[in-house]
Amino acid sequence: MTRSLLIALGADHGGVALKNRLAKVLVEAGHQLMDFGTDSTESVDYPDFAHAVCGAVVEKRADFGLLVCGTGIGMSIAANRNPAIRCALVHDVTTARLTRAHNDANVLALGARITGEEVALDILNTFLATPFEGGRHERRLAKINPETQP
C-alpha cells in the first residue's frame, strides 16, 4: 500500500458510478478524498469538474487528481489546459506506471465506458504507488512549458 494521500476526484454523468466505486476503495485503503462531484447521472459539463480537481492539485490541496468520464478524453483535454497539470488518459497498468515514472503525471483520467472496474482499480493503484524517476525525465518535463520554468 502507498502512503496515505489526499486525492481530488471528479466525474461527469458518464463516470459517476466508476468514480464512486474507486472512491470507496481509496477510503478503504486509508486515503483522504476531496470529491468535486458529480453525484448524479443527470447530464453535466465535464470541464467544470476537471477544472475543480486540477485547481486542488495546482494549489497543493491534493496530492493527485482522478477524473472519470465516459471515455476519459474530454476530462484529459480539459485538465491539460492548465499548464501545471500533467493529466494522463490511461487504459492499462503499464501506461499508469510509465506516466508516473517518466511524465510525473499528477492527474489520472479514466474512461468508464472504456475501462472495466477491475482494470481501473489496478490502474489507480499502480498510478498512486509509482514514484517519479526524475533524472533525464526532468529535462523533458521542463520543455513542456518552458515559460513556467525559473
Catalytic residues, which ones? 102
d(CA 92, CA 98): 10
Residue matched to cell numbers 515514472: 101
Q: Evaluate whether 83 touches 148 at the Cβ level (below 8 Å).
A: yes
DSSP result, 23-79? HHHHHHTT-EEEE----SSS---HHHHHHHHHHHHHTTS-SEEEEEESSSHHHHHHH
